[in-house]
Structure 1
């Protein structure tokens, strides 16, 4: 029966490919607002799931890069299974995946070149001295769109996970999409599955939109974060569904002394209409690599199911930096270990060169309008001795506990703040503010990235 299903699936893909090409040589039948266009098969691409298309992707991007100053260009990935190693993008460029297109990450390590270590990290995260390029990579770019009619990018990550667990890798695992030092980046309307490590990693970028992604990995897969904004400014993430073996979204800005020295924060970030499933990790993590600072993060309309925690702040001595002006509202959480979790002892370090006196500044953390059910612990809030996490505000929050909840619901150390209309009763360090019921603040102004339109493509 399974064999018949696979044969029928292959037949549908072949039929879709024939229909796509029939009478659609002009711009591939797709309009993306670019003056120039090409189809991957124009450069020798073969969509059989077996033939390597690394050279075809590189040739296509190289050819289309010459049109960057003449209205830009788009590369259409038609129906089929397009096996490839790592390839780079270019500026004023759209990569478009047809709904029946699947980009497959090669399992041949030689098709994944090594790239320089990230200056704000100093070391590779899996292996200290080297890291692989992501499957789709770009640096120093302007105006890049990666999109589709819900086409698929499959990192085929399982062999990487096996090697990682067996300590058989000599470089840090590749990400699925990594864009560096770039401006005006949009990633939308795609299905991303089985990344070797993190899925989407914009770093040192500005003016980024990530919208309409379905991101899927086994909940047991190692370090398969969904989206990792890293030292980025002006970014919005919305309408995404993520099932992950790690944090669904992890906001970062560098690691210990390297992040402090690089000094580029993540700020002006909007996250909304996210659905997350991650039994062993956070819906949204702030850190743990946050040494360049995280500020002005606006989170709203979040749903988490069978996830370890809601919003988790992760830091430690040696991190330095700051996490401040965090605003969250309208969260629905079902089957959670922790609703609120802050950690001041998340102590992994790149090396022994960190400064133990570099402590983070965690301040002005605001949560409101939260409903949670089937919860084991309401909160675990652990600041740092001599460096309390302060300015915590929680309002209008109802937490319904599991049938076997922990006796100590609010475990608080080295924190300070206020609460209003929170059930069950909070700890003494977060007293109910006297007087009338109030709401914790949420900004009324709009960030500039909220008014940037999403660039979409249409089929003729």
Structure 2
């Protein structure tokens, strides 16, 4: 080829490129060059990544396309290739020094290198330090009734928390420390918090600190890794003044809500990863205005030798249960997370005792692989729910060897929102000591927001019907349940079990080794006119549209979904009006003393 011919060929190639370049601004040309250079450097390089705690690519179908993107200052793997944007990071990409995040690149785990350890601790890199909380102690005369001391003690506590480095310990010495809500810490790693005194959040509704939206959480921790909360003296206490300044006052203001959680561990506020490797032991939590403890989005957690109590009255019987029930929303131990072991805990409260929570936030972290055992619980029961988001899975959960003295409910499953799944759940060797105020077993509705008036006080105070409507799927086994009769009130005995489904979702419940004891242990079940209560006897038909499989130890009957009531008769309480009245409609009628409704 002659030089002239070669020159024409080169010009034919260069001119279109030059024309394109001339149409771009200097900044655009610079960005295009950097993108080209970045892609040329990274497109074939193997990616090294670390999974975020508790998350797995397997939580989505195998044909899911993952992308490398940015999340704030981090290079991450997520579904959406756009920076930040939709939830959620699943893994962090480990970049070489000076390397840029290849945003938009398709990520394939099979072609990448997994670095297994998440934020590992290497002893020797730093010298462990013991930080002593030398806050102002209550003299016993003021009884934490001033505001200045709680504010200063909380400021000091937060200052120490920001100083904790891997290997450090924070020690709270014996004594009573007046605290204000708003103790907060982020991304603590490989530390111990040793509470040997009493952290007393003494303020009431008027003084308790607030932000623009709500009352502050008393103790609030985010994005923890390998953190222990303990008490070497076994006398550590975190408490508030719920019995004297919260429960009765907020009821007087028209409801059971108000205040915030006493002790909370949550996900990282920036990268959204779950707190992991958490141990809570040898501590007591008392009289918080709202939930006592909430472990939100967490994995690999142990809670042991912990006491959670509302101390207003001792547990002695039905009257006490009613009064303690005024302490609404005082959940004991609520957890959303995986790989959970709770054992040797003692709970007396006014709402869910130990509760499986959850939120389908896109991270794929479900509540699974739980063992709750060898404990005592009195309150609203061993609960699953509420999963407000829907589309949440609870699986492989076992409650076993638990005593429940004078509780209001025993077993309580309330997941009636769209797409929820409860499977491989076992309640084993659950003993109800004394009568329950409501039901030993309730499976079905969520009392907080059902439009069928299945209120918390249904059916013994509030009339109405109680139904479920979603396609939530429940599959649970109860093997070894000891019920002590009578339950409920005199002349208003409660059914042992209330199980409620619908036409698109029938809960499957397997019953074995059910034992009836108490004052009426030899009284047989009867078909009640208006379940779930009856003046004499015990209903065997407070079960509606469910699949119950029994070994014969408890001969329960379930009403078919197709069973309806004709116009002019009282609407049944179990099931909704739209399901139980042949017309699907009803009107108020004071003569219908159960539901208060007559089918029209």
Give the alignment's TM-score, normalised by structure 1.
0.71
Change in 2 beyond 3 A, CA 1:172/1:226 = same
Match of 1:242 in 2: 347
Task: Please state how far the C-alpha of 1:412 moved relative to its aligned partner.
Answer: 1.1
What residue number does 2:319 align with? none
Correspondences of 1:341-380 after superposition (within 5 Å): 341-344=442-445, 346=447, 348=449, 359-376=470-487, 377-380=495-498
Contact 2:154–2:182 at 8 Å: present in 1 too? no
**Conservation of the 8 A alpha-carbon contact between 1:370 and 1:396:** yes
CA contact (8 A) 2:369 2:396 kept: yes
Of the candidates 411, 427, 431, which is equivalent to residue 557 of structure 2? Answer: 427
Shift of 1:229: 0.8
Query: 1:289-328: CA deviations, max 9, x gaps?
Result: 3522322211100101111222111133x44322221111
How far has the Cα of 1:173 moved from its partner? 1.9
Task: Classify 1:36/1:361 alpha carbon distance in 2 versus 1 (closer, same or farther; 3 Å).
Answer: same
Equivalent residue, structure 2, for 1:6: none
Q: Which residue of 1 aligns with 2:499?
A: 381
Q: Which residue of 1 aligns with 2:303?
A: 210
Counterpart check, 1:173 vs 2:264: no
Cα distance change, pair 229–97 in 1 and its aligned pair in 2 (3 A): same
Match of 2:227 among 144, 152, 155: 144
Q: Please give the residue correspondences for 1:6-405 in structure 2 after superposition, counting only pairs within 5 Å.
A: 35-41=128-134, 44-48=135-139, 49-50=143-144, 52-69=149-166, 71-90=167-186, 91=188, 92-98=190-196, 101-107=197-203, 112-114=209-211, 130-148=213-231, 149-158=234-243, 159-167=245-253, 172-181=258-267, 182-217=275-310, 218=312, 219=324, 220-230=326-336, 232-254=337-359, 259=360, 264-278=365-379, 281-282=380-381, 284-289=382-387, 291=390, 292-316=392-416, 318-334=417-433, 335-336=435-436, 337-344=438-445, 346=447, 348=449, 359-376=470-487, 377-390=495-508, 392-400=509-517, 402-403=519-520
Distance in 2 (alpha carbons) for counterparts of 1:357 and 1:262 = 28
Paired residue for 1:118? none
Give the deviation of 1:249 after TM superposition.
1.4
Q: Spell out, residue by residue over 1:366-421, the C-alpha distance to the aligned partner (whole angstroms, 9 max, x if none).
A: 1112222224322111112321112x211111123644764423421111131114
SS in 2 for 1:164: helix
Aligned residues: 362
Where relative contact order (Cα < 8 A, 6+ residues apart) is larger, the structure is 1
SS for the counterpart of 2:513 is: strand
Does the 8 Å CA contact 2:153/2:178 hold for their aligned counterparts? no
- Residue 277 of structure 2 aligns to a residue whose secondary structure is strand
Per-residue CA deviations over 1:155-191 (Å, capped at 9, x if unaligned) read 112423244324489x952111011011122222122
Determine helix, strand or coil for the equivalent of 2:482. Answer: strand
The separation in 2 between residues aligned to 1:333 and 1:168, in whole angstroms, is: 32
Q: Distance in 2 between matches of 1:173 and 1:349?
A: 24
Question: Are the aligned partners of 1:270 and 1:297 in contact in 2 as well (CA < 8 Å)?
Answer: yes
Give the whole-Å Cα distance in 2 for the aligned partners of 1:421 and 1:407.
17
Does structure 2 retain, via aligned residues, the 8 Å contact 1:225–1:249? yes
CA separation of 1:428/1:84 partners in 2, compared to 1, >3 Å: closer, same or farther? closer
In structure 2, the CA distance between the partners of 1:63 and 1:364, relative to structure 1 (3 Å rule), is: same
Give the distance between the partners of 1:321 and 1:97, measured in 2 at CA.
Answer: 38
**Separation in 2, partners of 1:344, 1:384:** 11
Normalised TM-score (structure 2): 0.55
8 Å contact kept, 1:374–1:400:
yes
Whether the 8 Å contact between 1:46 and 1:53 is mirrored in structure 2 is: no
- Structure 1, unpaired ranges of 5+: 1-33, 116-129, 351-355, 431-460
TM-aligned CA distance change 1:190 to 1:362, over 3 Å: same
- Is this contact kept in 2: 1:314–1:344, CA < 8 A? yes
Would the aligned equivalents of 2:131 and 2:168 in 1 still touch at CA under 8 Å?
no
Residues 1:347 and 1:163: Cα distance change in structure 2 (over 3 Å): closer
Q: Which has the larger radius of gyration?
A: 2
The residue number in structure 1 matching 2:316 is: none
What per-residue deviation string (whole Å, max 9, x for no partner) do you get for residues 267-289 of structure 1? Answer: 222111121222xx22x111133
Offset at 1:348?
0.8
Sort the Cα spacing of 1:76 and 1:35 in 2 relative to 1 into closer, same or farther, 3 A.
Answer: farther
State the distance in 2 between where 1:260 and 1:402 align.
48
Structure 2: stretches of 5+ with no match in the other structure: 1-126, 268-274, 313-323, 452-466, 488-494, 521-534, 561-600
Pairwise CA distance, 1:212: 1.1
Secondary structure in structure 1 of the residue aligned to 2:246: helix
